[in-house]
Structure 1
Amino acid sequence: MRTVTSEMNGEPRALARTTSTPKTGRNSDRAAEGSKSLRRALLLLRTVAAHDDRGMRLTELASSTHMHTTTTHRLLSALQDERMISFDPNTKLYKLGLEMLLFAESAHRMTIKDQLHQVLVALAQDCGEDVHSIVPAGDDHVLIDKVEGTELGRITSPAIGCRRPIGVGAGSIALLTAISDAEARSLYERNLPHLANIRWTTPDRIWRDIVAARRRGFSVVKGQLLKDATAISVAALNNVGEPVASVTVFGPNSRLGRSKYDLIADRIRQQIVATGKFHTPLCSPS
C-alpha cells in the first residue's frame, strides 16, 4: 500500500491506494496447455507426412511421438475433423488429409509463381501488353500471377485467382499441347458439361483451338472473352515434360495480329527457357 498526503482543510491526510497485481493462474495454465496441444498436433502431422506413402497405425504414431495412445487418438480425431488427416477404417492407417494436400498444392503454385514472375515482367516490358501465368488444378486452371504492360489502350486480362475449366482460354489450351492425344481428348470430354456453359465460345470451337495449338506447339485464342482481344500462350514444362504452367500475352487484335503469333510465341519460349527451370513444347506431341 502506498501512502499519499493531501492537504484538506489545512491538515495533511493519508490516502490509501492499492496497486493491482496482474492475474495469473488459470488463464496462463490454459494458454500453456493449448500451446502444448498445438505442438503435439503439429508433431503428429509431421510424423504422418513423413510416412504418408504407406500410412501409420495409431500405436505406431503414439510410439513415434512418445505420447499416450489416448492423447494421440484425441488429437488425431481433431485433425481428422479438420480434414488435415484421413483415416482408412479398413486398413486402420492414418495418412494426410485433403486440407494438407491443398496446402501442398498452394505451396507448389507459389513456387512456380516465383519462378515465372520475372518471365512475366520481361515480356510485359518487351511486348507492352498484359502477361499472366496459370497452373493446372485438377480439371481446372487457376491464374496465379499477372504483370501489366506499358502500351496505351491495353486490354485488361482476367484477374489473379480466376479459376476456369481447362480448355477455356489460350493459357488453358496451351497446357494441352504437351500431353498425349488420348489425355487431351479425355480431359476435354470430362469438361464438356462445363465448357457448354461458357458464354463466349462453344465446345466445338474450343476443340478446334486445341487441335490447332497441338499442331503448332502454342495456343492462340482470338475474339472470344473479348471481341477485340487476342491471347497467345506457351506451356512451361518441368524436367519430365509435364505441363505445370503456361504464360500468356493478352492484347488487342490490332497489335497481336496473325503476323505476330510466331514472334510472340518465340519470345515467350525464350523467356521461359531462360529461367533454367522449365522447357517448352516445340511441336505437336507424338
Structure 2
Amino acid sequence: MGTQAPLSAASPALAGGAQAVDRALALLAAVGRAPPEGAPLSALAQAAGVAKPTARRLLISLMGAHLVEQDAGTRAYHLGAGAFLLGLRAGRRHDMAEQAADCVARLARDSGDSAFLLVPQGDEVVCLMREEGAYPIRTHALLAGDRNPAGVGAGGIALLAALPPDEAAATLERIAPATAARMGEAAAHLPADVALARERGWALNPGRVVPGSWGVAVPVLWPDGRPAAALTVAAVEARMGPLRQAELVRMMQAEAALIGARLARPLTPGASPAPQPTLRTAKG
C-alpha cells in the first residue's frame, strides 16, 4: 500500500479547513456582538455571511467547545463559559481598561474635556472607555463601545501612525471604502494626517468626522514598539487652539508612558519597565 502524499499549503483540503475556521470565528464574533438577549441563527448566519445550515453546523462545534451556548427557551445563541474563561485569561495581559482607567480619569479631570481609551482590533478601532470632564460643552462624536474603521478620529490616526509606514499604507488602502462611507470627502486627508502624526508623535483630528468636534491623541506602545492603544482628548473646536493642543499632548504623553511601563512589567517579572520611545512634544 503506497504512502499518502502530504498536503501542500495550496491543497483544497487545507484551504477548506482554513475557510471553516474563518467562518467559525466570524460566527463567534457575531455571537459576541449580539445584544443581551442573544441572537437567532438567521441573524448570525447573515452577519457571518454563511448559509444557515453551515452556521448551524459550526455553532454546534462551538457549543461543543463551550464557546457558545443556546438558550433552551428562546433558542437564541450566547457566548458560553469557555469564552468567559478565555476572556479572563486574556485579560491578564490585554485588559487595557484596567491598566489605563486612572490615566483616562486624570485626563478628563485635568483637561475638563472628554477623554478616551481606544484599542486596535484588526482594521477597526474600538472605544473602550470614555470619561467626562467638567467643561459643560461636550462633544458626543465618540461613545464607549463605538467601533470605527482604523484612521477615523484622532485615536485611529495615532494608532495607524505608530505602525510601520508600509503597514499603515496597506491598511489605509484596505479600509478606503469604509473610511469614505464614514467620513465622506474628508477621508481623502487620512494619508496626510497619518504622515503628519508620525512626524509629530501625536495625532490631530480637526473636525474631519463631525464638524466642530476636534481631538488630539497619542499612542500607547507595547514594549516592542507596536501600538497597544491610544489616548484621546476631544473637545469643541473653540477649545482646541495650538497652545492647548500642546498642553493636552504633554498630559497624554505622560499618561501613555505610565501605561506603557505597566504593560512592560508582566513581560519580565522583577525587571524595570522597558523604556518607552520618546515622543516629540507638540509646539504651540
- Shorter-chain TM-score bucket reads 0.5 to 0.7
Q: CA deviation at 1:85?
A: 8.6
SS in structure 2 at match of 1:80 = helix
Unaligned runs of 5+ residues in structure 2 are 1-57, 68-81, 264-275
Q: Which residue of 2 aligns with 1:65?
A: none
TM-score (normalised: structure 1): 0.61
Aligned twin of 1:11: none
Question: Are residue 229 (structure 1) and residue 209 (structure 2) matched?
Answer: no
- CA distance in structure 2 between the aligned counterparts of 1:281 and 1:268, rounded to whole angstroms: 13
Alignment partner, residue 205 of structure 1: 189
Which among 239, 247, 268 is matched to residue 255 of structure 1? 239
Residue 172 of structure 2 is matched in structure 1 by 188
Q: Does the aligned pair in 1 maintain the 2:220–2:230 contact within 8 Å?
A: yes
- Name the structure 2 match of 1:277: 262
More helix by share: 2
Which structure has the highest strand share of the two?
A: 1
Q: Is 1:82 aligned with 2:63?
A: yes
Determine the C-alpha separation between the residues in 2 that align with 1:184 and 1:78: 34
Runs of at least 5 residues in structure 1 that lack an aligned partner in the other structure: 1-76, 87-97
Shift of the 216–225 alpha-carbon distance from structure 1 to 2, 3 Å rule, reads same
Instruction: For 1:280 and 1:131, locate their aligned partners in 2 and report how far apart those are by CA, in whole Å.
Output: 23
Q: Is the 8 A contact 1:220 1:231 kept in 2?
A: yes
- Specify whether residues 277 and 210 from structure 1 end up closer, same or farther in structure 2 by C-alpha distance, changes over 3 A only: same
| Alignment CA distance shift 1:280-1:170 (3 Å) | farther
The offset of 1:135, in angstroms, is 0.5
The 2-side partners of 1:223 and 1:112 are apart by: 27
- The Cα shift of 1:280 comes to 5.7
Matches within 5 A, 1:1-286: 80-82=61-63, 84=65, 103=87, 107=91, 111-275=95-259, 276-277=261-262, 279=276, 282=279
Distance 1:273 1:238 in 2: 10
Q: Percent identity?
A: 26
Once residues 109 and 144 of structure 1 are traced to their aligned partners in structure 2, the CA distance between those partners, rounded to angstroms, is: 15
Q: Distance in 1 between matches of 2:90 and 2:144?
A: 14
Kindly indicate whether the alpha-carbon contact (under 8 Å) linking 2:141 and 2:213 is maintained by their aligned counterparts in 1: no
Residues 269 and 280 in structure 1, CA contact (< 8 A), matched pair in contact too? no
> Compared with structure 1, are the counterparts of its residues 200 and 258 closer, same or farther at alpha carbon in structure 2 (3 Å cutoff)?
farther
The count of aligned residue pairs is 196
Larger radius of gyration: 1
TM-score (norm: length of structure 2): 0.62
Q: CA-to-partner distance for each residue in 1:18-55, whole Å, 9 max, x for gaps?
A: xxxxxxxxxxxxxxxxxxxxxxxxxxxxxxxxxxxxxx
| 1:109–1:198 CA distance, 2 compared to 1 (3 A) | farther
Q: Could you tell me how far 1:224 is from its partner in structure 2?
A: 2.3
Shift of 1:147: 0.5
Q: What's the secondary structure of 2:116's corresponding residue?
A: strand
Q: Report the alpha carbon displacement of residue 194 of structure 1 after superposing the two structures with TM.
A: 1.0
Which whole-Å CA distance do the structure 2 matches of 1:186 and 1:122 have between them?
35
Indicate the SS of the match to 2:245: helix
Q: CA RMSD in A?
A: 2.9
Aligned equivalents of 1:267, 1:231: Cα separation in 2:
14
- Tell me by how many angstroms 1:263 deviates: 1.9
What is the Cα deviation at residue 201 of structure 1?
4.7
Contact 2:128 2:145 in 1 (8 A): yes
Q: Is the 8 A contact 1:124 1:149 kept in 2?
A: yes
Q: Write out per-residue CA displacement over residues 66-120 of structure 1, whole angstroms, 9 at most, x where no aligned residue.
A: xxxxxxxxxxx9872438499xxxxxxxxxxx96898479737861111111111
The answer to whether the 8 A contact 2:182-2:209 is kept is no
Structure 1 residues 232, 109: closer, same or farther in 2, change over 3 A? farther
Contact 1:85–1:100 (CA<8 Å) still a contact in 2?
no
